[in-house]
Amino acid sequence: MKKLSSVTIGLGLLLAGGVQAQDAITYNDQQKLHDIADAVSAKRIEQDIRKLVSFGTRHTLSETESDTRGIGAARRWVYQEFQRISADCGGCLEVMYVSDIVEGEDRIPDATEVKSVIAIQRGSTDPDRYVMMSGDIDSRVSDVMDATSDAPGANDNASGVAGTLEAARVLSQYNFDGSIVYAALSGEEQGLFGGKILARKAKQNKWRIMAVLNNDMIGNIEGINGVINNTTARIFAEGTRMDETDREATMRRFYGGENDSPSRNVARYIDTMADRYIANLDTMIVYRLDRFGRGGHHRPFNDLGYPGVRIMETNENYNRQHQDLRTENGIEYGDTIEGVDFDYAAKLTALNAVSLAGMSWAPEPPQNVDIRGAVQPSTTLSWNDARGEENVMGYKVYWRLTSEPQWQWSRYVGDVNEYTLENVVIDNYIFGVASVSPDGFESPVVFPGPAGEFSIEFEDDTDDN
Ligand SMILES: [Zn+2]
């Protein structure tokens, strides 16, 4: 969305009959988020991308014994780097491998350990609530089964891993209410296996993940179509949730919600963060799960009901993705370091960092949000208390016209569980509720009903498959 210069944003008030000027969106400007954005270093991101490229190939089926080449050396380095970051914050990160054996798959025929590296920064008041930032550690060339040729994977996706490491460096200097997971996921190119393994583990362990920010290619600014631009980024977010039941789909037909999955409201949250805290960056929310017919590591989390989005460059260059290193008809192919703009990768990393920080200082998004008001001149929203009383100041109701991409109006309503907007007719707007911390950090907005619910249900007897 385009930036607006004033902190009070009055949008189309004349269009909204009955809506008063005090319902314009206001917010607390957070100095800490400006500090976090400023602390992200393009230089350190460059060093980490160069280090990851130096392993020659990081193909999932590449060798694991060498200390200098292959996926084994790469993931051991990421593990050590997380440990170094942890040493600088008094051991604030829990660093671990998350792995499983995969075999009998098209792209992993023989038994292979798919091993991701994660670090958890534990929250102080709500430690079982998580937000996550991820990148992919593996790389590939033209033949997806070629595990020996040089596959630098500088942009796809050393950029995402380097951004995740840098976000960990910056955010580990702060304490948050909720927990943050930093993940370098494996096996992406072979079929999203690292994400599937971690998502399954998360659900088995009843992790309340409120948002997965999957970063896959955050450094290319020269598009295949000739466009060169370092001021925009894309946020891909699915519109209806994958785990929706038939009954919920029927409810959605009557009550709406096809544009208000928790993933899409996470995307709106990040878009707002870009406007407020990241200079020269305008995000473009794309109303689809991912690029046309293509995949990314937020999907396995969406599959299990977790909110998640893909953050990436706006302008992709296919000559630099999944290509053997070569020159053909004067065109250079391959995902080399020359194709990465480090300042741009730092800008997208800063966007992740302020979004993770904002959500982790905010309370949990409200649960069981409900709405009523058919055939009356008012709309009533209700919700349950967000977990962790000491971090909840109150709640804020949001609404927008049904055809608008972003929330247009809001009203802080205090520490209540129900609020009626007088003379705001339910038929003409989309509504939601956010929770607000004592120092003014807000959760993403939650659309009423199962279509918009952030928390997921855990079965007591989750099977082990
Ligand atoms: Zn790729």
Give 361-412 pLDDT, tens digit per residue: 999 999 999 999 989 999 999 999 988 888 999 999 999 999 999 999 999 9
pLDDT at 1: 59
The mean pLDDT value for 145-158 works out to 98
The alpha carbon of 454 and the centre of ligand 1 are apart by a number of angstroms equal to: 29
Nearest to 269 by CA among 301, 216, 305, 308: 308
- Report CA(136)–ligand 1 centroid distance (Å): 9
317 three-state secondary structure: coil
pLDDT of 7 higher than 70: no
Pairing status of strand 409-414 against strand 370-372: unpaired
**Ligand 1 center to 157 CA (angstroms):** 7
Beta bridge partners of 442: 436
Give residue-wise pLDDT tens across range 218-254.
999 999 999 999 999 999 999 999 999 999 999 999 9
C-alpha 164 – ligand 1 centre gap (Å): 17
Q: Distance between CA 400 and CA 240 in Å, rounded? A: 19
Q: Rounded to the nearest whole angstrom, what is the distance from the C-alpha of residue 7 to the centroid of ligand 1?
A: 39
pLDDT in the model for residue 8: 46
> 86 CA distance to ligand 1 centroid (A)?
29
Confidence at residue 2, expressed as pLDDT on a 0 to 100 scale: 53
Mean pLDDT value of segment 320-344 = 97
> Residue 52 C-alpha to ligand 1 middle, in angstroms?
15
How far, in Å, from the CA of 307 to the mean position of ligand 1?
Answer: 22
- Give distance in angstroms: CA of 144 to centre of ligand 1: 10
325, pLDDT greater than 80? yes
Predicted pLDDT of residue 22: 53
Tell me how far the alpha carbon of residue 59 lies from the centroid of ligand 1, in angstroms. 11
Residue 298 has pLDDT above 70, yes or no: yes
Which residues are close to ligand 1, an ion, with C-beta < 5 A?
156
Peptide bond into 417 cis (omega under 30): no
Has residue 295 got a pLDDT over 50? Answer: yes
Beta carbons within 8 Å of 35's beta carbon, 6+ residues apart: none
Residue whose token pair is 């370098």: 184
Q: For 73-95, how does the pLDDT look when each residue is reduced to its tens digit (9 = 90+)?
A: 999 999 999 999 999 999 999 99
Residue 388, pLDDT score: 80
Å from CA of 186 to ligand 1 middle:
12
Q: What is the DSSP string of 41-61?
A: -HHHHHHHHHHHHTTSB--TT
- 464 pLDDT exceeds 50? no
Distance CA 182, CA 82 (A): 9
Tell me the CA–centroid distance for residue 1 and ligand 1, in Å: 27
Give per-residue pLDDT as tens, 15-57: 444 445 558 898 999 999 999 999 999 999 999 999 999 999 9
* pLDDT at residue number 114: 98
Average pLDDT score over the chain: 94
